[in-house]
Structure 1
């Protein structure tokens, strides 16, 4: 299950989420910070170093220049508000979660027949499945930490 990053998440957490869930489909998968910086620079025309990417991803830089945020927003096709304006963040996160879900469906990481089956369940059973999926996702996150 693709879970949105919380509106209160750090800039580093938001960037990591975008790299893992909203990387442009027409590019090779995100690799090193060097490859990420090059992809962003090539796509946006804004010069970005691998050091900047590293600092942003690790939280060592949490107040980048506006042009850096603009390049990130352009590259990941998100509104600039995603990076910090709380009143916009919840709506943006919901849209991004939906886009990530569609990407996983398109890439056959989530079976469409499973989603169809969930829709057809009774409300009580769907609630039970929701709880099961959320518990599994939480256990998965704990295992990765």
Structure 2
């Protein structure tokens, strides 16, 4: 399910933010969604908030840019993100950093990233870590270009 797309920018549309959550922070215990009906059902089941598949479709496609607060609250609850992720006035960088760390933790838990790799990164010298940083950024750029 995870596409490891570029992080969502603070100025991203609501549709881009919702899609990023579905692709990158889908709860492991919810089972992967195959369509908007399953996505809506999983959110409703987990939060108790009735969300229709049409609402999910509208959110994902940008046809609904101003949903009800209860809908955003249900999404925030389901994906375990602060409500500020959707554009309420809070600092955006800490939210982006928190989401990135959450996605990394889930990838480690699911074996997408091996824990020993992260531990080795922490143990590297600053110079060696800089080299790894540059390689990761170059690989991410090449991946974005390949999938564009």
In the alignment, the residues of structure 2 paired with residue 135 and residue 86 of structure 1 have an alpha-carbon distance, to the nearest angstrom, of 33
Q: Compute the TM-score of the two structures, normalised by the length of structure 1.
A: 0.90
- Residue matched to 1:8: 11
In structure 2, what is the Cα distance between the partners aligned to 1:71 and 1:26? 17
Deviations 1:29-71 (A, max 9, x none): 1221110011111122222111111111111211111121111
Structure 2, unaligned stretches of length 5 or more?
none
Q: Distance in 1 between matches of 2:144 and 2:90?
A: 27
Superposed CA deviations along residues 88-122 of structure 1, whole A, max 9, x for unmatched, are 32212211111111111111111122122222222
**TM-score between both structures, scaled by the size of structure 2:** 0.89
After TM superposition, which residue ranges in structure 1, 4 or more long, deviate above 6 angstroms? none
Rounded Cα–Cα distance in structure 1 between residues aligned with 2:127 and 2:89: 33
The equivalent of 1:124 in structure 2 is: 127
Match of 1:71 in 2: 74
Runs of 5+ consecutive residues of structure 1 not aligned to the other structure: none
5 Å-filtered alignment, 1:57-96, equals: 57-96=60-99
Which residue number in structure 1 is paired with residue 56 of structure 2?
Answer: 53
Q: Number of residues paired by the alignment?
A: 145
Q: More deviation in 5-14 or 85-94?
A: 85-94
RMSD, aligned CA: 1.7
User: Which structure exhibits the higher relative contact order, with contacts defined as CA atoms closer than 8 Å and separated by 6 or more residues?
Assistant: 1
Mark the CA change 1:59 to 1:2 in structure 2 (over 3 Å): closer, same or farther: closer
